[in-house]
Amino acid sequence: MNARTFLLMAAITALFLAIGFMIGGEGGMLVALGIAGAMNLFAYWNADKMVLSMHGAQEIDRNTLPWFYDMVARLAERADLPMPKVYIIDSEQPNAFATGRNPENAAVAASTGLLRHLSTEEVAGVMAHELAHVKSRDTLTMTITATIAGAIGMLANMAMFSSYSNSDNRSSPLGPIGGILLMILAPMAAMLVQMAISRTREYEADRVGAEIAGQPMWLASALSKIEQAAHAIPNHTAERNPATAHLFIINPLHGGSMDNLFSTHPSTENRIAALRAMAAEMGGGGQPRRSGSVPSSYAASRRGPWG
């Protein structure tokens, strides 16, 4: 975790505690601290299973899809990581994400659309990006941040209720107007911090993932294809669970790609430009071949239900 991410996580935790103080003074802050601790503990042990279950992900082994499983194994070896669990999501929208509390308990998931519509090199670029998240322990950081951000919304609603029902409660500095403002502004502030963390980690995962794969243009080409598909092909499960959108390599929700304060992801155009610059520094184009091509270093064949 870099210094900027640490400061952003500290900011969202401080916001959570501040809301507790606004509701009930020092006692409220202690209660908020306890809630945050309990939620983080639960998220640490169970969030990966919850996210995979939300998206109907099915674990596979080498017998299920040898070329894809072997690709992930080779990339994990290049990244000096333990072999993660590998999952497939039944979704036509090309996309992928990683989850898990640490590299020893990590999982990577790819949609059937990703395996169907992208070339082998592009799939390798995407999975290298996800393994970069695992290597940097971003999956735990983002899970905890999302958990606290969700709890801030809950506390903000409690603050408004408290301001009306206990307007003479001296332990709380809120009046009715303060409660309304807190209900509106606190979740917005939490969302901004959460998205700032997400954008920071995506750029870094692009860089590290390109190093793992060895070809930045594989990922650049994949990002372009996934971005176009995300606008044309809906991901209904993600739409029902928008809190998980920041985990995907490209925002799976419609209309969320602008690089601004309210975006879960950086601009795809900016990410591709950074990868192009990285490819130029490495001295090679590394343009991927057409869909269906198979570099021997990553796969022997693409036979299978999504090959």
Q: Could you report the per-residue pLDDT of 268-306, keeping only the tens digit for each? A: 999 999 999 999 998 755 555 544 443 444 444 565 544
Give residue 298's pLDDT: 44
121 is catalytic: no
User: How many residues appear in the chain?
Assistant: 307
Report residue 163 as tokens.
Answer: 């301001």
Residues 121-168: pLDDT tens digits?
Answer: 999 999 999 999 999 988 877 767 666 766 676 766 666 665 555 555
Q: Are 271 and 206 in contact (CB under 8 A)?
A: yes
Kindly list the distances between the CA atom of residue 90 and the CA atoms of 57, 85, 216, 219, in Å, as whole numbers in the listed order: 7, 17, 27, 22
How far is Cα 106 from Cα 190, in angstroms, rounded to an integer? 26
How high is the pLDDT of residue 245?
82
- HSE-up (13 A, CA, CB side) for residue 77: 8
Higher pLDDT: 205 or 186? It is: 205
Tokens of 30: 């202690």
Cβ contact 261:195 at 8 Å: yes
> Which among 121, 130, 202, 227 is annotated as catalytic?
130
> What pLDDT shows up at residue 159?
62
- 292 token code pair: 């269906």
Query: What is the rounded distance in angstroms from the CA atom of residue 234 to the CA atom of residue 303?
Result: 27
Helix (H) or strand (E) holding 255: none
Q: What is the pLDDT of residue 179?
A: 58
**pLDDT for the residue 88:** 97
Domain ranges of the chain: 3-282
Band the pLDDT of 101: cuts 50, 70, 90: confident
Around Cβ 240, how many Cβ atoms within 10 Å? 10
Which pair of tokens denotes residue 94?
């090309």
- 216-226 residue pLDDT tens: 999 999 999 99
Helices 66-78 and 176-213 pack at an angle, to 10 degrees, of 90
Angle subtended at Cα 31 by Cα 27 and Cα 36, rounded to the nearest 5 degrees: 145
Q: How confident is the model at residue 16 (pLDDT cuts 50, 70, 90)?
A: confident
pLDDT at position 292: 43
Q: In 27-149, at which residue ranges do the beta strands (DSSP E only) sit?
A: 58-60, 85-89, 96-100, 106-111
Give the largest Cα separation in the chain, rounded.
73
Report the alpha-carbon distance of residue 126 to residue 94 in Å, rounded. 10
